[in-house]
Structure 1
Amino acid sequence: MQAKNLAVAALCVVGLAVSATSAEASERRPTVTKVHQYDAADAQFPEGLAIDDRGMIYTSLVFGVLHRIAPDGSSEVVAELDVNGGYLLGLTIPSTGTILAAVMSPDPAVSGVWRFSEADGTKTRIAGLPAYPAAFPNGITTDQAGNIYVGDSQGGIIWRVAPNGGVAEQWASGPLLEGDPNGGIEGAVYGANGPVVRQGAMYVANTEQGSIVRIPINRNGSAGTQSVYAQHQELLGADGVAFDQHGSAYVTTSVMNNSIVRVLAGTGQVDVVVDEADGLNYPASLSFGEGPLPEDTLYLANTGTTPGLTSPPAVLAVDINVPGIPD
């Protein structure tokens, strides 16, 4: 993804104190291995990724397939959804057995939040969102109370939905969450993307501004004052966000940089962990391992659609050597 006439602000970070372990890990080049390869010829392009406490990896193949990879490497289709000209995108797992997905579609009967049962693939739309191009539901997460949040890349909005579904409300919006007003990518504007909740605040990747935005969650559930947690040219294309146990953030940068970038807690140092030389090709969602999967390994959806790159669509594992915080 490329933004036009984008002025990148100086790096600005507020974080926790960095430990020696996290700092030392930033000096080593991690190993990247392929967990599962998809078939580009069959339009199998993974974008969303979430892992449950049994180590099951769920991916969304953008044209409407929810796929599962077991810790032993076996895999299967869980469900299929007619996205009617749209995409099946971000995933999150609020509890074992339930997968939530953000769906972008020009069909107003399809766009929104969908709930899938991993047992039998039953699917239900639990909240509608404006149809594309009015909205682009992209990343998705939940808080400790079970509230659901969706990053709307087109509108620069974080939508909130009650745990059991219902009417979506605009929880947060504003210039820090908006995309590039001068153009956008392939006809779309990509602002607020992958959100994640950590220690009473939400962190949102802004794809075209190359930033991570921090939004405190007030005691009454409302959104607090937004601030730039990190902004850097290496963060252009920011898509998914995950944190390690020392408070450092790991950010995929999709097609604009094709990398995973680390923002070290406390110092704010930004460094590239792995990139296209390691096989990254439009990296999207990412998550640390859970259950039998190593907790110091990042798993990511490598969409495989960057023009000029040949690495196939796949789920990749990146040995970070620092334990992560489960989503």
Structure 2
Amino acid sequence: MSPHRSAGLRRRAATLSLAATLAAVAMTPVASATPAPTTAPAIAPTSPGLTAGTRLDNVRVLVHFDRAAGQVAESIAPEPGGSVVIGMIQSRQVVRVAQDGAVRVLATMPLPPDGGTTAPVVGTAAVTGVARSDSGAVYFLYCAGQGGLTGIWQVRRSGEPRLVVPLPADTFPNALVIDGKRDRFMVTDSAGGRIWQAPLSGGAATVWSADPALAPSAFFGANGMKIHDGAVWASNSDHGTIVRIPVARNGRSGRAEVRATQLEGIDDFDFTGRGSEILAALNQAGKLVRVGADGAHETLLDAKDGMQGTTAVAVRGHRVFVTNGANLAGNDPTLMLAELNRR
């Protein structure tokens, strides 16, 4: 069996396992969580030049979530003051975690009439990406496999979510980013291998990029996304890549170039503030890795540090937030906090 086919089968098995897990967990309300004190050439996984780079210190668990209640942490949106907003896949909820680890539910999405079985790829409804605007508004993505439910939603003070941008039923909206410079939302579609855009004021979405570098090879294509240095960067889970798509003056997309490879099962990522250096969450492997500007990478955190199905990372100043969904392995979904040491 060729290495390519073997890797494809591993990805397929992992995704099928995820689908089975999502379908098996009861969609119950979240219980109280427990606070805790032009394509580039392939790059080798590690490089001697990485040894003197950014490190993480004082790594600790901020909160343990309740796996049995569907608290599978998927995404992170930091807020001023140290709290974060998190999207919970299986419980279909958006929660806020305070600095002391206290968890408050902001919104809960209803199951679609069919129970979410028509949702692309995983066959169950899920809350995925979250984002916070400069004005403090909280938005999130809901994948329901149904028109009128799938799309970008806003959390309102009443707790009743509002649909801001509908998306086609066959999309799997995954990462949500606000492009403040152009007053628009940007959304990765893992099923269609696309990036959508829509006005921040709401309305119809259009495809911003359907570059082949975003396409899935088996299940999940474009996944995590960030805007950095005049470009949109996106991860591709199936291909294990990070791609950079330049943004033209008129806001349109240029041609994607692959900037990092061999990141199998990559989910979300963020920039450290040191040029194009990246911290990336490898979901299947349960790792947090550092990716240099040349695409070489090294592991910073793994299972011995508490990584279990690592889903997202967000950098704010010297603070690094990491979520573990414990989807494919383990049973301890967490929000972790670390200090960024830029050496």
- TM-score clears 0.5: yes
- Alignment of 1:236 with 2:264, yes or no, is yes
Bigger drift between 55-64 and 190-199 goes to 55-64
Secondary structure in structure 2 of the residue aligned to 1:41 = helix
Once residues 40 and 317 of structure 1 are traced to their aligned partners in structure 2, the CA distance between those partners, rounded to angstroms, is 19
Secondary structure in structure 2 of the residue aligned to 1:214 = strand
Shift, 1:145, TM fit: 2.3
Partner of 1:38: 65
Mapping for residues 145-294 of structure 1, pairs under 5 Å: 145-180=182-217, 184=218, 189-232=219-262, 235-247=263-275, 248-255=277-284, 257-265=285-293, 267-289=294-316
Given that residues 90 and 285 in structure 1 are in contact (C-alpha distance below 8 angstroms), is that contact kept between their aligned partners in structure 2? no
Shift, 1:191, TM fit: 0.3
Match of 2:338 among 313, 318, 322: 318
Shift, 1:269, TM fit: 2.5
Partner of 2:3: none
Label 1:299 to 1:165 Cα distance change in 2 as closer, same or farther (>3 A).
same
Label 1:198 to 1:23 Cα distance change in 2 as closer, same or farther (>3 A).
farther
Mapping for residues 14-53 of structure 1, pairs under 5 Å: 24-26=52-54, 30-53=57-80
Once residues 83 and 113 of structure 1 are traced to their aligned partners in structure 2, the CA distance between those partners, rounded to angstroms, is 16
Match of 1:304 among 317, 322, 326: 326
Report how many residues are paired.
292
Letter aligned with residue 4 of structure 1: L
Partner of 2:175: 139
- Alignment of 1:11 with 2:42, yes or no, is yes
Label 1:23 to 1:202 Cα distance change in 2 as closer, same or farther (>3 A).
farther
Match of 2:166 among 111, 114, 128: 128
Given that residues 94 and 106 in structure 2 are in contact (C-alpha distance below 8 angstroms), is that contact kept between their aligned partners in structure 1? yes
Shift, 1:96, TM fit: 4.1
Match of 1:106 among 145, 160, 172: 145
Label 1:317 to 1:83 Cα distance change in 2 as closer, same or farther (>3 A).
farther
Shift, 1:10, TM fit: 4.6
Shift, 1:95, TM fit: 2.1
Letter aligned with residue 324 of structure 2: N
Letter aligned with residue 198 of structure 1: H
Letter aligned with residue 301 of structure 1: T
Structure 2 portions without partners, runs of 5+: 1-6, 12-39, 117-124
Question: Equivalent pairs: percent with the same residue?
Answer: 26
Partner of 1:71: 99
Match of 1:91 among 124, 130, 133: 130
Secondary structure in structure 2 of the residue aligned to 1:130 = coil
CA RMSD of aligned residues (A): 2.4
Secondary structure in structure 1 of the residue aligned to 2:213 = helix
Given that residues 240 and 284 in structure 1 are in contact (C-alpha distance below 8 angstroms), is that contact kept between their aligned partners in structure 2? yes
Given that residues 62 and 100 in structure 2 are in contact (C-alpha distance below 8 angstroms), is that contact kept between their aligned partners in structure 1? no
Once residues 238 and 160 of structure 1 are traced to their aligned partners in structure 2, the CA distance between those partners, rounded to angstroms, is 23
Label 1:91 to 1:83 Cα distance change in 2 as closer, same or farther (>3 A).
farther
Given that residues 30 and 273 in structure 1 are in contact (C-alpha distance below 8 angstroms), is that contact kept between their aligned partners in structure 2? no
Once residues 96 and 171 of structure 2 are traced to their aligned partners in structure 1, the CA distance between those partners, rounded to angstroms, is 28
Shift, 1:285, TM fit: 1.9
Once residues 4 and 176 of structure 1 are traced to their aligned partners in structure 2, the CA distance between those partners, rounded to angstroms, is 20
Q: Calculate the TM-score normalised by the size of structure 1.
A: 0.83
Partner of 1:292: none
Label 1:102 to 1:288 Cα distance change in 2 as closer, same or farther (>3 A).
same
Given that residues 87 and 94 in structure 2 are in contact (C-alpha distance below 8 angstroms), is that contact kept between their aligned partners in structure 1? yes
